[in-house]
Amino acid sequence: MKKSLLILVFALVTMVSQGQQKKWTLEECVAYALENNISVKQSELDVKVSEIGKKDAIGNFLPSLNASTSYGWNIGLSQDPVTFNAVTATSKTLSGGVSSGVTLYNGLRNLNQLYRSNLEIISKQYQLDKMKDDISLLVANSFLQILFNKESLKVLESQQSITQQQLKRTQDLVDAGSLPKGDLLEVQATIASQEQQIVNAENAIQLSKISLAQILLIEDYQNFDTADSNYITPEPQILNQSVNAIVAKAKEVRYDIKIAETNSELAQYDLKIAKGAYQPTLSGFYSFGTNYFTSELFETPNFKTQVSDNKGHSFGVQLSIPIFNGWAASNNVDRSKVNVERSRFQLEQANLDLETAVYQAYNDVRGALKAYQASEKTLAARQEAFNYSRERYNVGLLNAFDFNQSQNQFESAQSEVLRAKYDYTFKLKVLEFYFGIPITNLN
């Protein structure tokens, strides 16, 4: 009695836990990945570092302020602070002061550095956004793979159900002497093969779930699952747009071009900063200091009096004119010019790569759509052929081998429709992504 009660409790707990198991939607998977993916987090840190760099650039405009103090002993020759005569004695000196300096002009390098730091923040943000786009595409592809594997399993189970029915019908016909026993063995062999295919399909589902869970950094592989959505194969509305219109839109919304454009601007500012080293630097300075002196040979005024009497101010401006520095400035300018040219080529290449990718994606969608439509026509024909073969087989006009061939062709057509459907769906999502349509919109 106790054992039966424990079994019942365990079954109820299992049912409750299964009922509470989370089913992840594509939107939830993408959102979770963007929040937890390591690559995304690293890109976010790059943005923070660039923001710190902007603080450095702002700090270059501010004056420096430093305080200093020293306390020392002098044993031997020193100077009498009253008579200024040289004496041999032990003396002590305490001094302190503050100093400040500010750059008034340095070839606009500080200003250009500030502009550059602002651009670098934008560039890092673009790189972060591109990383998020790449992660979203990866998650969507993995999510669709799970849906494909689940639908493939349903097709196999449906096919096995048909074969199980056929097994019963064949058994009856064999028992009645209408069919040879070899036909029954043929059907049994088909069922065994289908069972193996179902096991492989179940493994494929589990592996695809593990793959997506790893992308999401979810460790509980066994309980991870995606929501079963009855989504409709999307219409190719994007193909109503011309490929040139999609390319133009992609250049507006895709971050590849924005990153290349920003990097080109950064190279221009690097060149301006390097050229600033050719110009003079004008800086201002101010310092205040005082000291206290005591010696064993003569009496010195008290601390307060000395500090007050010995205080002094110093201020002025300093002009530094570069004449020769081992070609360091000119080499930096030449190096920056090379980088400007390189960034210009990279921008041109980014535009070419994007155009190529869009044209490829556009043609991929058209080809995948035609393949999907052709597979549906093939499936319809195979369905009719299978129904006809089954009718002939049921009345003994077709042997088991030929019937099995017809069934295999029908099953192959079903699998091909699924493969073509998801291949078309993902390629369509990629093309829509270039057009600025969110990847999470499956319908």
Question: Which sequence spans correspond to the domains of the chain?
Answer: 25-279+289-434
Least confident of 6-10, 258-262, 265-269, 421-425: 6-10
| Rounded distance between C-alpha atoms, residue 389 and residue 405, angstroms | 10
Residues 173/400, Cβ–Cβ less than 8 Å: no
- What's the pLDDT score for residue 78? 73
Produce one character per residue of 47-78: b if its CB has 16 or more CB atoms within 10 Å, e if not.
beebeebbeebeeeeeeeeeeeeeeeeeeeeb
Q: Given a cut of 80, is residue 6 above it in pLDDT? A: no
User: Count H helices, E strands: the chain?
Assistant: 10, 4
The burial class, CB within 10 Å (0-12 / 13-18 / 19+), for 239 is: middle
Check whether 280 has a pLDDT greater than 90.
Answer: yes
Q: Which of 70-74, 264-268, 313-317, 349-353 has the lowest mean pLDDT?
A: 70-74
**Mean pLDDT, residues 237-259:** 92
Collapse the DSSP code of 293 into the 3-class scheme (helix H, G, I; strand E, B; otherwise coil) and give the result. Answer: strand
pLDDT in tens, 108-120: 999 999 999 999 9
Residue 214: pLDDT above 50? yes
Question: What average pLDDT does the segment 245-261 reach?
Answer: 93
pLDDT tens-digit profile of 157-197? 988 888 888 888 878 878 877 778 887 888 888 889 889 99
The closest alpha carbon to 82, from 309, 317, 367, 279, belongs to 309
Residue keyed to tokens 């999502």: 429
Residue type, position 401, single letter: F
**Mean local confidence (pLDDT), 379-386:** 93
What percentage of the chain exceeds 70 in pLDDT? 92
pLDDT at 4 over 60: no
Distance CA 54, CA 121 (A): 8
Flag the least confident range among 134-138, 246-250, 297-301, 322-326: 297-301
Architecture of domain 25-279+289-434: Up-down Bundle (1.20)
Whole-structure pTM value: 0.80
Q: Phi/psi zone of residue 218: left (φ > 0), alpha (ψ -120 to 50 degrees), beta?
A: beta
Cβ-in-10-Å burial (0-12, 13-18, 19+) of 344 comes to: middle
Q: What's the average model confidence in pLDDT over 369-377? A: 94
Half-sphere exposure of 264 (CA within 13 A, CB side): 15
Q: Which two three-digit tokens encode residue 304?
A: 């307060």
Categorise residue 20: left if φ over 0, alpha if ψ from -120 to 50, beta otherwise: alpha
What is the reported pLDDT for 203?
A: 95
Query: What is the distance between the alpha carbons of residues 207 and 28, in angstroms, rounded to a whole number?
Result: 20
Sequential DSSP letters for 358-385 = HHHHHHHHHHHHHHHHHHHHHHHHHHHH
Average pLDDT over residues 260-280: 95
